Structure 1
Amino acid sequence: MTTISDIAKKANVSRTLVSRVLNNKPGVSPENRQKILSIMEETHYVPSGLARSLVTQKTGAIGVIMDELCNEFFLKLIAGLQDAGEQHNYHVLFCSSRSHPETKMKYVDYFSQGRTDGIITYGSNLDNEELFHYMAKQPVPCVFIEGGPDNGNCNRIQIDNEQGAYEATRYLIAQGRKNIIHVTGDMNYTASLERLNGFVHAMRDSHIPITADSILYADFFEESAYRQITELLERDIHPDAVFAGADKTAYGVLRALMNAGISIPGETAVIGFDDDTPDSRDIIFPGLSTMRQPMYEMGCAAVELLLAAIRDPAHQPETRCFQPHLILRETCK
């Protein structure tokens, strides 16, 4: 395999001069530059990425730690991360932790030991608190998407979950709905807590009482919400609107309402959060109104924020907050 020394010997120049050409640095005459480039082409020379990283102290790679990679919901986020990385000539390395904090920590160690120039992690699981502080102490910059310590010392990309939930609930109230129920997402996640807070604030601002049946605690899957709403209907409690803390949860709500013969949105309107797809692919659901997250834009912003921190060690940590948008479809028109 051809080396820099081989190129220098053939061109009758120093290794330093060849290195300058490789890194597009000044201090090389046009004649020597052309001669060196011609020899590289003739010998099919391929620069060693490892050798270059030792010189530049940069790997040209970003590590991304996700909870899941196969979930359809994350595809736009992944596309944003990858497109922004490629636009800035960075390789983006993805891994899945399967929502295990210990696995995330192992990947943090792997990426931070000279294998990447920075790390991006996604997730707001409350169990990740130790991980967040551990990441903040790493020798490479980090960016948190939908998570991270809320102390102003970290780079964060956030969605305004509370405002989004507030907007969704206020829309239902403006449609004349009064008996509104909130079916939460998984309460082990900050996002679910924030969306619950948004619902509560909207109800209180409209002076609508919150009863013991106004909040049903579920998770991010259809089945739990389906059982909760079915049990509620069996007790002869009929909400005229439901705000679900996640679209997966909302589809469980819709399935229970449809099975009970309740018209949607005539008797009960439904709004979800995320702009996600149902788990049940054998059921024809009405178009779900939802709070859409700008996932692609969040991915691009995470890379840009990380690169700013990589290029400038004195870069002041930032939090960029994105607003979800209400998408109206059949379930609450």
Structure 2
Amino acid sequence: MNLLDQIKEKAKAKAKTIVLPEGTEERTLRAVPILIKEKIANPILLGDPKAVKGLADSLGVDLSGAEIINPAEAPFFKDFVQDFYEMRKDKGMTPEKAETLMADPLYFGSMMVKSGKADGEVAGAENTTGDVLRPALQIIKTAPGISSVSGAFIMIVPNCEFGDNGVFVFADCAVTPNPTAEQMAEFAAASVSTAVNLCGIKEPKIGMLSFSTKGSASHELVDKVAKATEIAKTRFPDLQVDGEFQADAALVPKVGASKAPGSPVAGYCNILIFPDLQAGNIGYKLVQRLAKAEAIGPILQGIAKPVNDLSRGCSVEDIVNVVAMTAVRA
């Protein structure tokens, strides 16, 4: 059984409720019958029921078993408006603005997760990452001890002897353009949960990446990664983390032993933390295309409850997979 099948089996055992704010998005609608038939999750679609059902009928999609909620007509809409106003009034929120925003399915969906009416949220097929993240951070907020959100990819590399039998977690590849050392350390900690809970990696080993290994080069960019490594070791003492590493020192045992002798993880890393978004995004796409790897994500890490972002170029299968991962994380 491959990793995605394992994730789906875990999701089936949990039977979680996942809210899908983009209720009139074609690929999302096509994913719903699959989610129901395979018992991956109990989906809730947000939108005007007439419009949602009308589009589904035109596509030949059967939505039997899915709940459809129009935010503004929900019996708990006014409660959500009041709760959101109370959360944000110190930041200039007014009751009128709270009502307007809560009618937005992305805000309403985040409030459903916050209130426990849904276990997780998946969106992004027709909205940007910023659009998905903004209400999640305002309403659900970050997890305890974490101040920053990162976007991780699970990389499944065929015929690969490195990592965890070719399975890796790469972060941050989607959210923060130029993270601080403190943020990089938090990305490392958050990635462990992804590695363990989604990938089944039993011994997460983290490499903090740079163009230098253990002082082989001198530059402020190297200093940031070295500082991030020390912060991670101090703040999260249970982590198996080291750096700064060049990629080959992190991945290849012989190179790791040569460049970083005595390191507990050099040459055996299965979690790679990139120094900035340019490196992370370029890195995962190179591995995806050149090594014909499967790239699953981005998985939003660091939010207190599971909210996941889709690529606007996602397929129906991608949506099913991300919903399954969200259900497992819930």
TM (normalized to structure 2)? 0.26
> Greater relative contact order: 1 or 2 (C-alpha under 8 angstroms, separation 6 or more)?
2
TM (normalized to structure 1)? 0.25
- Larger Rg over CA atoms: 1
